[in-house]
Chain A
């Protein structure tokens, strides 16, 4: 965490300052409180309005249904395309959520309120990213059983759930960064997918290959490389976003 992070608690008039225990611990505590505040705010607001989740969910269901009826596939062909359809659905609905998450802040003027807070801006990034990730996971938690029934495939395999966790984490990680870049653009609805999809290709390829391998019951040796790739990209994307977020938000 960078030195501009909030340090120990700020005293209000007539109140004692929070004792400066150990500097690093206090800074880490303040950093986590800022992350959790942003996450709590996004979850509480979404719980009340359900704007984001309902849009993502309806969109995902429609995509799954359209693919199901449009392709008219036999069992083998379904197994072959299922992982691709699953991740196309996750990516499109995720993009919808990422776009709204930041544009709502901008349109309602609350983005400035966040940026005025004396916290390391990476804390704002992690708060927003965790919120976006959770929203994607909630949608997947509903879509996967539907997908299993429609495609008659075991989408709820424990290892496939790990792929979903890792894939959506990477996508939300890089997506939150790029959504905060696109939010300043007038054509942000178009800009985000144009920026995001090429950058997220490695995550998507790895996720599709890992999910596909699991559904086809391939040996672990064949699919473990895709898990490694997913973990590697998640770490790299999130580290880059952590370092770049401050600059991305500058006007």
Chain B
């Protein structure tokens, strides 16, 4: 909501895949991969890792080619239907809105050591 100005889970930066008649619910969040395919395939160098290890997209450099979305192994990069720019979870500058708003406290932000180490 705060990110996009409205509600639609398809615009969320994480997803829950429902499988086998809803018996299994498999969550997917961006892994900020050490070897990030989205970053590797970007022809305009719009995708860079920041000092905190988060893979971020610069919308000014993004040329909307969609290669990042195509090669993300878990569907975590998408093209915004309004702007046609690539978007992904960048952890909201360290204070993820999804964690803040989750009514059941199912989400939390945890650090598993430094990715550059």
Chains A and B belong together in one complex: no
